[in-house]
Amino acid sequence: MAGDRPRFDYSGAVYGSLLAASVVVGAGAGGPFPRVHLIVLLLSTAVVFWAAHVYAGLFGASLANEPLTWHEFRTVCRDERPLIEAALPPAAAVALSPLLGFGPQATSWFALAVALAGQVGWAVLGAVRAGAPRRLVVITAVVTVLLGAAIVAAKAGLSH
């Protein structure tokens, strides 16, 4: 169950970062966009996916014939929270982009870079904190970078 996951399980943050990167790519595919819209899109998408994960976790608990308690509900909500938290840095990057003089295109790339850095960072940190051998940490980093590269390729392809 979600509450039984070890504290070094950052899969929600990795997934949330990947989701945020995908949202940035999808939003930028239509051309220039208002920053506020991208921030709202990032945060609302994260909340919807969080709610879906909470529902799935609670549904799984009910399938196991366990009575659903308020404690279990709060535990599942808390355990899935990294999905939302992972959208905060890219949203902050979008909000701060005018201070850096970024236009819409640079803002999109900046937010994407922040999301992908989070994705790789959380994956590697999770592997290290789980005590994975160095070889597995490197494989984790490479696979996560490749997933990020696929998103960057999609963005590059959609931007032209």
Closest by CA position to 138, among listed 127, 148, 130, 146: 127
**Rounded CA gap, 102 and 61, in Å?**
46
Reported as a single tens digit per residue, the pLDDT across 36-63 is: 999 999 999 999 999 999 998 888 766 6
Q: Which residues contact 154 (CB under 8 A, 6 or more apart)?
A: 25
Distance (Å) of CA 71 to CA 7, 23, 56, 103: 18, 32, 16, 46
pLDDT of 160 > 60? The answer is no
- Please state the pTM of the whole predicted model: 0.85
Reported as a single tens digit per residue, the pLDDT across 21-33 is: 989 988 876 666 7
Tokens found for residue 119: 């994705």
Tokens found for residue 135: 């070889």
